[in-house]
Amino acid sequence: MVAVAGTVAIATAIVSPVGYFLTALRYELHEAQGTADRGADSVSEFAVAHPDTWHFEEPWLVHILARISARNDPTHRRIIVPDGHVLATAGPVVDGPLIQRHAVVTDGEKEVAYVEVTASLRPALLGTAVVGLFGIALGTAVFVALRAVPMRALERALRSLDQVLKSLRESQAALAEEVTAKVAALSQAEQMAQAMRHLALHDPLTGLPNRVLFQDRLEHGLHSCQRTGAPLAVVVLDLDRFKEVNDTLGHQAGDRLLQELAGRVQAAVRRSDTVARLGGDEFALLLRIARLEDARTVAETVCRAIAPPVVLDGRPITLGASCGVALYPQHGADPQVLLQRADVAMYQAKSARGGVAVYDSAHDPNSPARLQRLTDLRLALEREEFFLCYQPKVALASAEVLGVEALIRWGGRPGGPVPPEEFIPLAEETRLINPISLWVLQRALEEVVRWQARGVELSVAVNLSPTNLEDPELPAKVERLLAQTGVAPQRLILEITEGAMMTDPGRALEALTHLHQAGVKLSVDDFGTGYSSLAYLQRLPASEIKIDRTFVAAMVHDRGNALIVRSTIDLAHGLGLSVVAEGIEDAETWETLHALGCDAGQGYYIARPTPGRELLEWLKSPPLPLARTA
């Protein structure tokens, strides 16, 4: 009876603390490993974003270690490189006995460190001791009860003991189930948190970093560059004509196109570079590059990667790209400033019909100098600071003056006259070109009236911009000015470039046809530098074309340019158009053009642009080269 009582008592005293300790040990090991895994994931993400400098960023590494623990009990956390050097630590030093768990840190390619988490088993042992005391007390009670009761009550006591043991087993099972449920809940919560962090920092369509993550990496990159003195480049990329795909094929096709092109862009740069989607069809690149030329080369490589067609539903779709580049520290040291200036450069590239442009403060609408120039330009009309010069156009066969071209000049400035190549593009960008063009047209027609009063009959040519052709009231405004001045429509020639006609061919052709029907002559300026097709040129109601000076100036010594000029003259004559050559600088060019059958010309060899009154004096006694040619 004593042996039976002793055996039952010992079993009762041992089972409870052993079961509790094993369950608590399993929980502690799982918690420590989970903390190590979370730390390794966060440090790995940081190492991928900053492959060259991550191991120097001790404050950030300590911050990562401090926020990875989901435990109430303190743990000691360290980041250790393979040679045993400790990069960062967090948490208090814990008392033994200890358990340790490790997780590997990678930079996307190789193992670079590991996260070590150390936890104390003292709380588990204290809990085991408490349960052990309870077990000893219970075992003692069982032993005394078995000795005290008669043998006939033994069976009843054993049944009671069986019930106690059953209750203990059920309690242990419930405890184990609760621990397992808590571990699963913690794991699921961590997975959800990681998914939410990824969604908050990445574009859901392409999987690329979004604007928030890009700006964060840009801030870290600038912080590193400011410490090391290394440069850094930001590239903003915008897809050309993407809106046409969305409007024509639908947004689903547009999304598939973005996914394909995002993959191409990512494949065109290094793993250490960041490619992000800022929104819509706009992307950004963060490049750790030493020279501006290298950043331009990478941007050009990306443009070439985008160029090949993408097949969507059996249709090949071809898009271009416009890239703007800004470099630290040349173009700014603040993340927002660098991104904004790369965006300005991108729009400059887009206005140049795609390609790559580097930030230039002269084209920045937010630069103080440009804003001041814009203010001055707005006031120039009111202050009468514009004036016109006229450059004669003569027949190459007879040297007869056929007419003049009106050219606007901006004077009256403290620093001297402003060159047209500086203020004309600004006027076009801000649409101030519309009132300026009407001012030029009115002043030129009034000058024609004054010449006629002096017995001089000349036609005058006025340049129109693409913005002018977008104005549906343009024909009516021209006719109104002709009526007000009394100048015959045949005396007015409107010059338009090929690029101006191609901006909106339908509207341009409608406006120009209306003007032609009113009797106004039309001339295609800078021919050979634009994008017009022969079919469109044949439909255009023009009476002449003007060969751009870039071909004329070098034609005497360049067979290629001479061939272009000859072909243009033959083409124009075949279409029934007269030909004017711009940029005649010497007698040899005059004679060569005359031999090729060119009808008329203008340039510094004939006369420089001069004000209206000086032009009348020039007409009375033309310079010796022109007189001798005649």
pLDDT given for residue 289 in this prediction: 81
Helix (H) or strand (E) holding 601: strand 600-602
User: 């006995």: which residue's tokens?
Assistant: 97
Average pLDDT on 70-94 reads: 81
pLDDT confidence bin for 628, thresholds 50/70/90: very low
pLDDT for the residue 394: 94
524-554 burial: b if 16+ Cβ within 10 Å, else e: bbbbbebebeeeebeebebebbbbbbebbbe
* Mean pLDDT of all residues in 360-366: 70
- How high is the pLDDT of residue 501? 67
On the question of pLDDT at 325 being above 90, the answer is: yes
Cα 264 vs. chain centroid, distance in angstroms?
15
d(CA 462, CA 465): 10
Using 50, 70 and 90 to split pLDDT, how confident is the model at 442?
Answer: very high
For residue 466, pLDDT over 50 is answered with yes
Q: Which residues of 207-230 are buried (b: 16+ CB within 10 A; e: fewer)?
A: ebbbbebbbebbebbbebbeeeee
The model's pTM is: 0.50
In the chain the domains, ranked by start, together with CATH numbers, are 2-189 (3.30.450.250), 211-366 (3.30.70.270), 377-629 (3.20.20.450)
- Beta-bridge mates of residue 386: 410
% of the chain at pLDDT higher than 70: 87
Q: What is the pLDDT of residues 585-613, one digit of tens each?
A: 999 999 999 999 999 999 999 999 999 88
Q: 218 vs 215, 221, 285, 337, CA distance in Å?
A: 5, 5, 10, 11
Q: What is the pLDDT of residues 237-279, one digit of tens each?
A: 999 888 878 777 888 888 999 999 999 999 999 988 999 999 8
pLDDT averaged over every residue in the chain: 83
Per DSSP, the three-state class of 291 is coil
329 upstream amide cis, omega within 30 of 0: yes
How many angstroms separate the CA atoms of 539 and 509, rounded? 8
Q: What is the pLDDT of residue 603?
A: 93
The answer on pLDDT for 139 being more than 80 is no
* Chain segment 143-168, per-residue pLDDT in tens: 676 666 555 565 676 677 778 778 77
Mean pLDDT of 78-94: 86
Higher pLDDT, 1 or 473: 473
Is it the case that residue 417 has pLDDT exceeding 70? yes
Q: Report how far residue 414's alpha carbon sits from residue 81's, in angstroms, rounded to the nearest whole number.
A: 65
What mean pLDDT comes out for the span 65-89? 80
